[in-house]
Amino acid sequence: MKKKDFAVIGFIVVLGALLSYLWLAPSGQPAPQVTFNDLEGKQFNLEQLRGKPVVVNFWATTCPGCVLEIPALVELSQKYAAKNLVIIGVAMDYDPESQVREMVRQKNMTYPVVLDSEGKIAKAFNQVTLTPTTFFINKNGQIFKHKLGEMTHEELDNTIQSLIL
């Protein structure tokens, strides 16, 4: 092999390792201690939710994949309410409050929705910039799994079942 071939292969290996680290690193790490303010003005934080499984879903009204996930999140929040599951929808900082409120009304979003108007929550979760991005936090306050991109109803349900066990 030529020196150039080794350099290309080395670059690919390093890039793959870096992407794997970025994809897998948050699992098992403590969830950031952030404070949420929901649309009704109620303030709460993740520490108060310790002992409960939590799903934090970063979304935007203009994100087609986010909008497609909403019915599944609504249904699963109701399905697992008896298991103390808490789902929190975090609207991104670029989403106007009026649009968020209208989407909540249209989609009958029964789980807490919060505005991240200053981007502090996304920053605390390691610079969330793409939506949807979903974090699954176990009862001990650790990130169990995170997923960048749209999840199917089945994928959400299976992950929540694993989180609850």
Q: Which residues contact 20 (CB under 8 A, 6 or more apart)?
A: none
Interatomic CA distance for residues 80 and 146, integer angstroms = 19
Give the DSSP per-residue string, 22-45: HHHTTTTSBPP--EEEBTTS-EEE
For the chain, domain boundaries: 1-27, 31-164
What integer pLDDT is reported at residue 157 of this predicted model?
Answer: 97
pLDDT tens-digit map of 76-120 = 999 999 999 999 999 999 999 999 999 999 999 999 999 999 999
Residue pair 123/89 in contact (Cβ under 8 Å)? The answer is: no
CA distances from 29 to 21, 56, 120, 137, 146 (A): 13, 15, 19, 10, 11
The domain covering 31-164 belongs, at the CATH homologous superfamily level, to Glutaredoxin (3.40.30.10)
